[in-house]
Amino acid sequence: MTESLQSLDWINLGWFAGVVFALALLFVAGLKVPVRLAFASRVASATLVAAAALTVVILANLALFRHDAHLDLTHEKAFTPSAEAREVVRGLSEQVDIAYFYQKQNLAAGALGAMLRQLERQNPNFRVQLIDADQNPAMASSLGVRTYNSAVLRLGERRVEVITTDDREIALGVLRLLRKRQVVICFASSHGEYDIDNFEFHTHFEGAHNHSHDVSGIGVVQMEQHGLGRLRRAIEKLGLVARKVSFATGQPIADDCAVVVEANPRTRYSPGETDVLRRYLERGGSAMFLIEPDYTLDESIAALLASAGIVVRDGVIVDPTEHYFTDEQMIAVARYGPHPATRGLALSFYPGARPLQALRVAGVQVTPLAGSSSDSYVIANRLEDQSKAKSGPHASQIIALAAEGRLSESAAATFRMIVAGDADFASNSFFPYLANSDAVLAELAWLTREERAPAMKPPVEVLPTVSLTGEQMRGIFFITVLLMPGLIALAGSAMWWWRR
């Protein structure tokens, strides 16, 4: 059964069909039943028939009110709450009250109000109050609401305010409200990593003759560097806290850091800084390393990763089969290794990745998460002539690995680690597209040990696009440019020959 059929409210649709049948039966009875019954006077007969009809109509309307059916025939399901929002509301075991102060003239706010009513019927613990902000300014002021389309969510003494016309934002607010502990994602900031406090726009080099995402471009105008501003905002919408940390001081990493993210370091680690990371992981910490192909790992970090069963190799992966658009170095990944962090992921892409290798280490389980196709090969750097390297060995290359276990026999707890041979896929320029955001957030959920929590992806403001891999583009080209015109030419030639 398709998802659209599964989402239909069959019980309420059954009530609706029953009420329609009862009203139709009442109409037929009105045509067939004589106004004057044999055992009653004319006035009594009319009164009895009218009372019976009125009773049936009232009961029918009551049944429709208590069992309201929702049927959305739009292809985009524009008037139906998202599957993620329905999952969050159905899982509520505590009462959540929501007061939504909408602007009457805003059609999107009105649509959200209707969706909230539908969600309210999913679970009695989700109680909704829709309030016209213009007609009830005193109530809005008493709750501290200052803008239109604000939803105030309350659970006991806790409170969250969300300004939106999107039901997914409401569901994210519910998740923040339900969170019992503060989860901190710590971003390393002492080695020139991607910043989390930058602007959320596409950043790049502009050259006189080209447009490039790496240092090969002729830097006529250099915009703000690639950053993680969009990832930080998505984390905060999920109710997590983003914080910068530095290892340069030698102080231990705080215990409240659920995950340490090292995204695109530019300078080398000192052995003392690596020891800080090692002690953190031995205490049961989690880490995400996003290492670009042009970064040279120092011996201490390489040894730390090797003790976790991961080797970061040199070079850049080229995949002539599975790549994004026309760039064979933008690896498109549609198949993932079996792991909680990859469950349900769609197509994602890595714009320039280096290969990884898994090692067998006692007490550590290493799982490949993403890889290239079997036609892939590795070149020394992004500027190397790919035609010369094509004659070399071709094999699937590992792009991302997950590791879990104990770094040593003396380790106090089990660590978790994810290493990817690319950092740009999580940056502002590529985070919102395809399933890149899903992949990053799912990996962070596994690292924070919340992989069993309801899956929610914060909406990211991007223009709608159609993204194709190189193989899909070649298939479309073959069908539309070669096959279809060829068939038309063949049919025309056959007709000419037959008439001749």
The Cα 233–Cα 283 span in angstroms is: 28
Most confident of 17-21, 71-75, 413-417: 413-417
> Domain end: 153, 178, 203, which one?
178
Which pLDDT does position 143 carry in this prediction? 86
The Cα 170–Cα 161 span in angstroms is: 9
Q: How many structural domains are present in the chain?
A: 4
Domain range for 240? 184-447
Which pLDDT does position 211 carry in this prediction? 46
Q: State the average pLDDT over residues 450-473.
A: 62
- Answer yes or no: do 144 and 250 share one domain: no
- Answer yes or no: do 95 and 54 share one domain: no
- Answer yes or no: do 49 and 114 share one domain: no
**Residue 356: partners with Cβ closer than 8 Å, 6 or more residues away:** 310, 311, 312, 313, 397, 398, 399, 400, 401, 419, 420, 421
Q: Which pTM was predicted?
A: 0.70
> What is the average pLDDT score of the chain?
82
> Domain end: 152, 178, 204, which one?
178
Q: How many CB atoms lie within 10 A of CB 297?
A: 18
Is 471 in a helix, a strand, or coil?
Answer: helix
Structural contact between residues 36 and 45, judged by C-beta atoms closer than 8 angstroms? yes
**For 174-222, what is each residue's pLDDT tens digit?**
988 888 788 999 999 989 999 998 765 544 444 444 445 444 444 433 3
In a domain, 461, yes or no: no
- Answer yes or no: do 312 and 440 share one domain: yes
Structural contact between residues 224 and 203, judged by C-beta atoms closer than 8 angstroms? yes
Q: Residue 54 — pLDDT band, cuts 50, 70, 90?
A: confident
Which pLDDT does position 40 carry in this prediction? 55
The Cα 343–Cα 358 span in angstroms is: 21
Q: State the average pLDDT over residues 265-290.
A: 94
Is residue 47 over pLDDT 80?
A: no
Q: Provide the residue count of the chain.
A: 500
In percent, how much of the chain has pLDDT > 70? Answer: 78
Q: Residue 413 — pLDDT band, cuts 50, 70, 90?
A: very high
Cα–Cα distances (Å) from 67 to 57, 60, 72, 232, in that order, read 15, 10, 16, 42
Is residue 391 over pLDDT 70?
A: no
Cα–Cα distances (Å) from 102 to 83, 98, 149, 191, 312, in that order, read 23, 12, 4, 46, 52
In a domain, 73, yes or no: no
Most confident of 77-86, 176-185, 199-208, 393-402: 393-402
**For 218-275, what is each residue's pLDDT tens digit?**
443 334 457 899 999 888 888 889 999 998 878 899 989 999 999 999 999 999 999 9
Kindly give the pairing relationship between strand 364-371 and strand 356-358.
unpaired
- Answer yes or no: do 117 and 53 share one domain: no
Is residue 165 over pLDDT 80?
A: yes
> Residue 228 sits in a domain of what CATH number?
3.40.50
- Answer yes or no: do 115 and 161 share one domain: yes
**For 305-317, what is each residue's pLDDT tens digit?**
999 999 999 999 9
Q: Which of the residue ranges 45-59, 137-151, 286-300 would you say has the lowest mean pLDDT?
A: 45-59
Burial track 300-333 (b if 16+ CB lie within 10 A, e otherwise): bbbebbebbbbbbeebbbbbbbbbbeebbbbbbb
Q: Residue 465 — pLDDT band, cuts 50, 70, 90?
A: low
